[in-house]
């Protein structure tokens, strides 16, 4: 991973397949989704697929010192805010909202993307209320989402059986 990607990687979400050999990583601010596998000989992760859902960040060397800083302009939409995996699929919450247009709710996600382990899109769902976090119960095969309920004015836990998604 290059230093720029490493900088943004701290702003992401990882899901590891329960066999421990595959993983998916979604970077919040860049909209980059990486799919990889763990090399059994070295124990290190190797990226198999890089899926870019947005534009690249801006590189700035304005200090003249050769040091490079990076930033993502506020008009660039946020990417992945949640990620969970099971044996067949990668589930991601995707914002698609820009900070300059959505000051308060730019990280709330109206989209649930489902991809296979090769990175091929399987299905896209519009979700209401918009979710903030995502997790999966592997034993029961249930997705859990945390979303703000505008009626109760509180964050609430919602569940979706993966089988009910008709993937």
Q: Is residue 38 very low, low, confident or very high in pLDDT (cuts 50, 70, 90)?
A: confident
Tell me how far apart the alpha carbons of residues 81 and 131 are, in angstroms, rounded to a whole number: 9
Among the four given CATH numbers 2.130.10.10, 1.10.1040.10, 3.30.565.10, 1.10.3720.10, the one describing domain 3-165: 2.130.10.10
Contacts of 63 (CB under 8 A, 6+ apart): 69
Could you tell me whether strands 80-85 and 69-71 are parallel, antiparallel, or unpaired per DSSP bridges? Answer: unpaired
Q: Is residue 165 very low, low, confident or very high in pLDDT (cuts 50, 70, 90)?
A: very high
Residue ranges per domain, the chain?
A: 3-165
- Tens digits of residue pLDDT in 54-112: 644 444 445 555 444 444 555 555 666 788 999 999 898 877 666 556 456 656 777 88
């Amino acid at each position: 991973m290059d230093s720029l990607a490493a900088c943004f990687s701290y702003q992401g979400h990882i899901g590891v397949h329960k066999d421990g050999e595959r993983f998916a990583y979604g970077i919040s601010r860049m909209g980059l989704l990486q799919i990889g596998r763990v090399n059994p000989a070295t124990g290190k992760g190797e990226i198999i697929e890089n899926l870019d859902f947005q534009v690249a960040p801006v590189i700035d060397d304005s200090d003249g010192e050769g040091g490079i800083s990076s930033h993502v302009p506020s008009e660039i939409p946020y990417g992945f805010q949640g990620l969970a995996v099971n044996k067949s699929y990668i589930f991601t919450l995707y914002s698609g909202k820009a900070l300059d247009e959505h000051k308060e709710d730019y990280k709330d996600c109206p989209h649930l993307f489902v991809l296979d382990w090769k990175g091929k899109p399987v299905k896209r769902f519009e979700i209401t209320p918009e979710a903030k976090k995502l997790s999966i119960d592997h034993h029961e095969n249930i997705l859990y989402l945390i979303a703000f309920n505008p009626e109760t004015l509180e964050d609430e836990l919602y569940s979706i059986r993966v089988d009910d998604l008709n993937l």
